[in-house]
Amino acid sequence: MSYRTLLRDHRGVLGIAFLAMFSSSLGQSFFLGLFQVPIAERLGLTAGQFGTAYSLVTLASGFAMLRLGPSIDWVAPRRFALAILLVLLAGILLLTLSSAWLVGLLGLGLVRLCGQGMMSHLGNTLAGREFTDLRGRALGLAGLGLMVGETLLPPLVAALLVWLGWRELWWSLAAGIALAWLMMLGRAPWPAAPRSRPDRQASREGPRPFREARFWRLLPLLMTLPIALTGLFIYQAHLTAAMGSSLALYSVALTGMGLAKLPGALLGGHWVDRLGPVRLARLYLLPFALALVLAITLGGHLAVWALMMGGGLAMGAQEAIATSLLVRLWGAEHLGRVRATLSAVMVFSTGIAPAVLGVALDLGASFTLVLAGMLGLLVGSWWLAQGVLASPEARGVTP
């Protein structure tokens, strides 16, 4: 079945997943970073204090994901979406209306939790659970929602700030997204809750990824790319200086990265359906690995372009591969719990990674050595995951 046929026959569920992924943009770092200065000034925080507070609320949202994320396995998706939408809007109001730093940071935490966390969790879980043979394509189409946000919102914000203040801009975007959700809540064919809420005994008998060795062996493979790209985003000045490039070229290459995610998502979803998630899991990091090799050995403008394009291709394909693997290993009925666990660990790791890289740079490590460390992490995580990828469960074979 082609993407066109999939959209024709399942546009309702795909529209919900797409809108959820687009709505998650309001809680993503790329969007919040556009307002770092006015938010910090309104809350009376220095840049360093804001960065520390941002890391703390991000870590807190990761812990909350562990608690709240599994509920999508038994709460009706329509009710789940309405709840996180209301909390997201409440967080935006607290963030934009309060000048008290504690209340403002509470709002920031709710925006991070319900934006980056729960909205993306809703979109990916819905696309991964409601489709079987077409799961990869469905996840690829859902992921386009975030890519559209990454591509369109920064220039849109820059244009609208000419006429609007930053708070009025936030309210306008929130109102637009709320209106889109009201239409979706009223008209879309929402799926029913997959199962009833488990009792305590059933909850203890369900999957507990933190207690399974295969989860820990697979985890580094799925975390390597987000950790590495977070480091490249945060330390872009060090990257361009070490490569002999410029921040202006980096900005253009970052746009290229967003565009590269599109074929990564669509081709990745197509190949997941045709070849299976196991084969793709063994191959999808190859573009980024080659980019790291080019950056370490050649440097220059080519290195920056290679890192951004290779990272974009791999990142575009990752969600379809990761979610399909989780379904293979733990089943669609428990996808909410396992995805929430993975998302929480992702939040923790990407929150800690900038600090670790910052310490390494402060101790005198060159950025080329940092890139070599990323390559070593990638190769090591790939090797560690091979046993899990070769298991009968991952290959879809009943042992």
The pLDDT value recorded for residue 82 is: 94
From residue 124, give the alpha-carbon distance in Å to each of 108, 198, 214, 271, 319: 23, 22, 22, 18, 8
Q: Please indicate, yes or no, if residue 205 is contained in any of the structural domains.
A: no
Question: Do 11 and 117 have their domain in common?
Answer: yes
Question: pLDDT class for 395, splitting at 50, 70, 90?
Answer: low
Last residue of a domain, one of 120, 152, 187: 187
Closest among 3, 131, 29 to 350, alpha carbons compared: 29
Question: Do 269 and 339 have their domain in common?
Answer: yes
The pLDDT value recorded for residue 300 is: 87
C-alpha dihedral sign at 248, 254, 256, 259: negative
The pLDDT value recorded for residue 399 is: 40
Question: Do 221 and 183 have their domain in common?
Answer: no
Res 87 pLDDT > 60:
yes
Question: Do 272 and 389 have their domain in common?
Answer: yes
Closest among 355, 351, 337 to 116, alpha carbons compared: 351
Q: Please indicate, yes or no, if residue 55 is contained in any of the structural domains.
A: yes
> Which of 108-122, 207-221, 263-277 is the most confident on average?
108-122
pTM across the whole model = 0.80
Question: Do 137 and 38 have their domain in common?
Answer: yes
Q: Please indicate, yes or no, if residue 304 is contained in any of the structural domains.
A: yes
From residue 131, give the alpha-carbon distance in Å to each of 124, 126, 128: 11, 8, 6
Task: State how far the Cα of 227 lies from the Cα of 234, in Å rounded to an integer.
Answer: 11
Q: pLDDT (tens digit, 9 = 90+) per residue, 176-211?
A: 999 999 999 888 788 877 766 655 555 555 677 888
Q: Please indicate, yes or no, if residue 399 is contained in any of the structural domains.
A: no
Question: Do 215 and 162 have their domain in common?
Answer: no
Last residue of a domain, one of 187, 220, 249: 187
CATH number at residue 175: 1.20.1250.20
Task: State how far the Cα of 397 lies from the Cα of 109, in Å rounded to an integer.
Answer: 42
Q: What are all long-range contacts of 325-328, with beta carbons under 8 Å and residues at least 24 apart? A: 325/218, 325/277, 325/278, 325/281, 325/394, 326/128, 327/128, 327/129, 327/135, 328/277, 328/278, 328/393, 328/394, 328/395, 328/396
Res 118 pLDDT > 50:
yes
- Please give the average per-residue pLDDT across 200-228, as a whole number: 78
Domain interval for residue 134: 1-187
Question: Do 180 and 58 have their domain in common?
Answer: yes
Question: pLDDT class for 398, splitting at 50, 70, 90?
Answer: very low
Q: Backbone phi, then psi, for 189, in 5-degree steps?
A: -80, 90
Task: State how far the Cα of 73 lies from the Cα of 152, in Å rounded to an integer.
Answer: 32
Question: Do 174 and 238 have their domain in common?
Answer: no
Q: Backbone phi, then psi, for 379, in 5-degree steps?
A: -65, -45
Mean pLDDT of the chain: 84
Question: pLDDT class for 115, splitting at 50, 70, 90?
Answer: confident
Q: Please indicate, yes or no, if residue 31 is contained in any of the structural domains.
A: yes
Q: Please indicate, yes or no, if residue 192 is contained in any of the structural domains.
A: no
Res 154 pLDDT > 90:
no
| Percent above pLDDT 90 for the chain | 19
Question: pLDDT class for 22, splitting at 50, 70, 90?
Answer: very high
Question: Do 24 and 155 have their domain in common?
Answer: yes
Q: How many CB atoms lie within 10 A of CB 205?
A: 10
Provide the number of structural domains found in the chain: 2
Question: Do 136 and 238 have their domain in common?
Answer: no
Q: pLDDT (tens digit, 9 = 90+) per residue, 299-337?
A: 888 988 999 999 988 988 888 888 888 888 887 777 888
What is the DSSP track for 172-199? Answer: HHHHHHHHHHHHHHHHS-PPPPSSPPP-
Question: Do 242 and 275 have their domain in common?
Answer: yes
Q: Please indicate, yes or no, if residue 91 is contained in any of the structural domains.
A: yes
Of 101-105, 153-157, 300-304, 345-349, the poorest mean pLDDT is in: 345-349
Task: State how far the Cα of 167 lies from the Cα of 176, in Å rounded to an integer.
Answer: 14
More confident of the two residues 132 and 65? 65
Q: Please indicate, yes or no, if residue 97 is contained in any of the structural domains.
A: yes
Question: Do 118 and 218 have their domain in common?
Answer: no
The pLDDT value recorded for residue 1 is: 54
Last residue of a domain, one of 128, 155, 187: 187
| Percent above pLDDT 70 for the chain | 93
Q: pLDDT (tens digit, 9 = 90+) per residue, 285-296?
A: 999 999 999 999
